[in-house]
Amino acid sequence: MKFTVSSSALLSLLSTTGKVINSKNTLPILDYFLMDLKDGELKVTTSDLETTLVGTLKVDNVEQEGMVAAPAKLMLDVLKECSEMPLTLEVNSDNWEIKISWKSGGSSVPGANPISYPAVQALSEDKIDVTMDVDTLVNGINKTIFATADEELRPVMNGVYIRLDDKSLTFVATDAHKLVKYATEYSGATEASFILPKKPANLLKAMLLKEEGEVQMSFDKKNAMFRLKNSLLICRLIEGSYPNYNAVIPAANPNKVLVDRIELMNAIKRVAVCANPTTNLIKMDISGDRISLTAQDLDFYVSANETISCSYEGEPVIIGFKSTFLVEILSNMETPTVLIELADSTRAGVFKPVYDDKRSDSTLMLLMPMIINA
């Protein structure tokens, strides 16, 4: 195996695919890049047995094709110290030594036999194929992934639930305290759903920012595949039934608050400095055209309060929320104004972005309240 390649192009490819590699792997071979050179194209594969990412790169001056397992950390360390220059990689198929040469020098890295690298998981014949706009997939993941959980007992909540039907495409995430539902118009003949784990969802989020056009998505009951311009992501899905999220979304919260999102978020951050660090409880007293925010930590005799203006329709409400969750929800909206729908101090609050124009998509965020001690 021998070829010439741009140092920055190779570093970019290895850095992207290397995000799949865990810091601790059950199989030593998973600490390696699987590099396969064929027909002038270098294919680099990484895997953690649950998620596999394949990236491709066109290379120059191919003298000999072949495969090798290259140590990930060493390869990245060498390439990070190389400025933009042509590199020649040559692999000795007898001892798997990888020689990296440049104009003024070179280095030698111990590779490994690629035969033991796990094969890419194939999807079943009854897989469902879907073509999706890049922006739709990016928005769906971006708006929901922060609300996923980290629970061993309820693994179905550790990913983003994606549901397709003949009219809409819905993304949902929840950790039982907060819930996000993003829905957009979608015309497809297929009605199906799956739960995308957090790790591949985060990988997709980063990779899709460099993509344009459409993404080819395929999935069966166990695995999903996302085909991008120069990459292929295959991941094992989370198995199980997702909670009935529609059942917890209030049908009609009568009290409605329109407030400046940034002003509210900054006020919460200032007041939350004095909140109890265990609960992070912040109290919202809403009446007239004002929101009074208060927080206190009785153990250290500290407290804070701030009042901001709003537009309010409804009965006076006093409700408590976890300040960190409030900030998370508000920071994951992009509109200047947010609508908060409330019922009373015991029922969930619903947060919605307010857009100036009519849109084909909708975002709803829900937050469970906390008990306020008298």
> For all residues of the chain together, what is the average pLDDT?
94
Degrees, nearest 5: CA angle 220-126-192:
50
| pLDDT for the residue numbered 189 | 65
Q: Which domains does the chain have, with CATH numbers?
A: 2-116 (3.10.150.10), 128-247 (3.10.150.10), 255-367 (3.10.150.10)
Assess whether pLDDT exceeds 80 at residue 374.
no
Identify residue 316 by its one-letter amino acid code: P
| Per-residue pLDDT tens digits for 139-154 | 999 999 999 999 888 9
pLDDT at 211 over 90: no
pLDDT single digits (tens) 258-294: 999 999 999 999 999 999 999 999 999 999 999 999 9
Give the per-residue pLDDT at 252. 86
In this prediction, residue 141 carries a pLDDT of 96
The pTM of this model reads: 0.92
Does pLDDT of 71 surpass 80? yes
